[in-house]
Amino acid sequence: MEKMFWVSFIFFFLYFGQSFCQNVSRPNIVMVMSDAFDGRLSFDPGSKVVELPYINYLRQLGSTFLNAYTNSPICCPSRAAMWSGQFVHLTQSWNNYKCLETNATTWMDLLEKNGYLTKMMGKLDFTSGSHSVRYC
């Protein structure tokens, strides 16, 4: 009987314990990606070339990657790699014609599975076919 109690207790803890240990407030994740954007305009801390108050506001509150690299110089393969978290040779997206399949798992899907509310807007272009512009 005691053994059954401990087995039940362990099962209960393993099943429900995760919700007891989770932090109630999770950090917000906001990813702003712009391409063909000259970094000298806003991301150099001392730059006064052009005043971009909203981008500077985001830069001050978040993280800025001043030494970032892409695994492909081509638009769609680079986006497919970023959204999937895989290298180009794994996505097999070699040019702007073939990108990810529409049902491919992205890091946004993984965030949704873990309880985050996600929203994608703008020119995404990580799936095969025509341009994907989403507004809502």
Structure confidence by residue, pLDDT tens digits, 43-71: 566 666 777 777 778 778 877 777 777 78
What is the mean predicted confidence (pLDDT) over 17-36?
Answer: 67
Q: How confident is the model at residue 131 (pLDDT cuts 50, 70, 90)?
A: low
Tokens 């993280």, residue located: 63
What does the block give as tokens for 16? 């429900």
Instruction: Tell me if residue 136 is catalytic.
Output: no
Residues of the chain by 3-state class (helix, strand, coil), percent to 5: 40, 5, 55
Residue among 21, 75, 76, 136 flagged as catalytic: 75
The whole-number pLDDT of residue 36 equals 61
What is the mean predicted confidence (pLDDT) over 12-33?
Answer: 64
